[in-house]
Amino acid sequence: MLVHICTLLLAFLGGTVIGLSPSDGMTSRRALLRRGSAGVLASAGILAGGKAQSAAAAETEEDVYFGVGCFWHIQHEFVEAERAMLKRGDSQLTSKTGYAGGSAAGEGGRVCYHNRQFLADYGKLGHGEVVGMTLPRDQIVPFTNVYFSLYNPRTKDRVDPMDRGGEYRSLIGLPGGTGHPSYPAMEAAANDAGFKLIPGKGNDPDTLGKQIVFVYDTAKFPFYQAEVYHQYHNDFQSPPYGKAYNDLADLAFDEGRIKSTGCPDRV
């Protein structure tokens, strides 16, 4: 039976959490992530300040999502990108962990992490782990470049290949899918990074070792927010992100930016 590292790290059994220490010699996922995303941010000139968004671009915001492997570390990197590229403060952050790419939701419209009640299990429903966010339209391509920087640059695969299955496949969600105005530039970014974008059909398989990314229309394959417990979570493959980062979950919940999902959770 395949062992999912996210599942081992989180034995979500009535709220009980089991932490595992990383294996000896395992490459730090955060080191790989930061090595890639820092290069993208620096090349765009945004680590030094960059250009302010135009008022027109800020008026056109769209909900998108990106997924590649376990969503904990991906959320952290997109939070850092929101701060650096969009100058967003803690109460303006939109990056949320969630599920997408499946053809259906469970009872009551719920999509849940693996749980003892076997309630609306995201894997059985064909969804993958993603991070959803709200971006100005003219920032979708720059954030796509950040996304491709999150892969292992040597293997062109996700940095947690020990996680296996469709739950960890590579996927992107856009309004209109491949018909989105930004899609041609995103496809070019994918090609430059050594990947191929293909339309997702829903309930798609793992992409490990294939260098492909499924693209979904968010109207047909919407984003389902993950449980509060999964928001701003540490990535146990590397040192903790810190209490200030973890506390963003409580802030977002108190401000209504993340909500109770009706799934087994800590709230």
Average pLDDT over residues 245-257: 98
- Residue 154, pLDDT > 70, answer yes
pLDDT of residue 18: 31
The pLDDT score that the predictor gives to residue 55 is: 58
pLDDT band at 236 (very low <50, low <70, confident <90, very high): confident
Percent of the chain with pLDDT over 70: 78
- 66 forms beta bridges with 131, 172
* Beta strand 212-217 pairing with 171-174: parallel
The number of angstroms, rounded, from the C-alpha of 70 to the middle of its chain's C-alpha atoms is 8
CA angle in degrees (0–180, nearest 5) for 69-112-159: 10
Per-residue model confidence as pLDDT tens digits over 157-188: 999 999 999 999 999 999 999 999 999 999 99
Residues 6+ apart with CB under 8 A from 144: 66, 172, 182, 185, 186, 189, 190
Question: How far apart (Å, rounded) are the C-alpha atoms in residues 81 and 131?
Answer: 13
> Rounded to a whole number, what is the largest CA-CA distance in the chain?
52
Q: What is the pTM for the complete model shown? A: 0.83
Through-space distance between the first and last CA atoms of the chain, rounded to whole angstroms: 31
Tokens of 143: 């954030």
Answer for the pair 249, 199: CB distance below 8 angstroms, yes or no. Answer: no
Token representation of residue 165: 């299955």
pLDDT attached to residue 58? 55
As a whole number of angstroms, the distance between CA 113 and CA 243 comes to 23
pLDDT category of residue 13 using cuts at 50, 70 and 90: very low
Per residue in 90-144, pLDDT tens? 999 999 999 999 999 999 999 999 999 999 999 999 999 999 999 999 999 999 9
Asked if residue 209 has pLDDT above 90, the reply is yes
Instruction: Indicate if the pLDDT at residue 14 is higher than 70.
Output: no
The CA–CA distances, whole Å, from 242 to 135, 144, 164, 228, 234 equal 26, 26, 28, 17, 8
pLDDT band at 208 (very low <50, low <70, confident <90, very high): very high
Quick check: 2 pLDDT over 60? no
Other beta carbons less than 10 A from residue 222's beta carbon: 20
Asked if residue 267 has pLDDT above 90, the reply is no
Give the pLDDT band of residue 56 (cuts 50, 70, 90): low
Q: How far apart are CA 118 and CA 121, in angstroms?
A: 6
Position 238 scores a pLDDT of 76
